Amino acid sequence: MADPSFDVVSKVDRQEVDNALNQAAKELSQRFDFRGTGTSIAWSGEEAVVVESETEERAVAAVDVFREKLIKRGISLKAFEAGEPAISGKVYKVNGKILQGIASEKAKEISKAIRDEKLKGVQAQIQGDQLRVSGKKKDDLQAVIALLKNKDFGIALQFTNYR
């Protein structure tokens, strides 16, 4: 029988992000403090979000509304990265990005943290944009999950395929 293992991934549910974006767009269209400011939020490609407004303050406030909706939908704010408001013609634009997958340098950092724990028989292999952690004992794997939950790597981590 194969050793117990699990995968460390960084993925978000696209449907939940879409729901959060639609809720934010609806709130921006209905809230009195956003009326007449031309504030909008929409998808700009597969993983990009763009916020537009006539004033810089309203653009930043609209990003905060979107973040609030992401939290309510159970999506970590580490999975959303927003830039600074930049003027484009007559409107201010804020470009945001939904972050998915574990970059190779982050995967190496996570792998090193697991190695530094010196648990017997626990290995971490980088597989594309995820990390497979395997070990002899399930208790060791649960200790690794607890360790990773307590450390901040700057990205949202999920644990899948635990077997």
Both 90 and 18 in a single domain?
Answer: yes
| Structure confidence at residue 53 (pLDDT) | 92
Asked whether residue 1 carries a pLDDT value surpassing 70, the answer given is no
Range of the domain at 46: 14-98
One domain, residues 85 and 111: no
Which residue(s) pair with 51 in the sheet?
41, 94
Residue 36 sits in the same domain as residue 80: yes
pLDDT tens figures, 50-59: 999 998 889 9
| This model's pTM is above 0.85 | no
Handedness of CA 116, 145, 17, 32 (dihedral sign): negative
Residues 86 and 114 in one domain: no
Residues 20, 82 share a domain: yes
Identify the CATH number of the domain in which residue 106 sits: 3.30.70.860
Do 75 and 121 lie in one domain? The reply is no
Residues 6+ apart with CB under 8 A from 80: 49, 66, 67, 70, 96, 97, 98, 99
pLDDT in tens, 86-109: 998 889 999 999 988 888 888 899
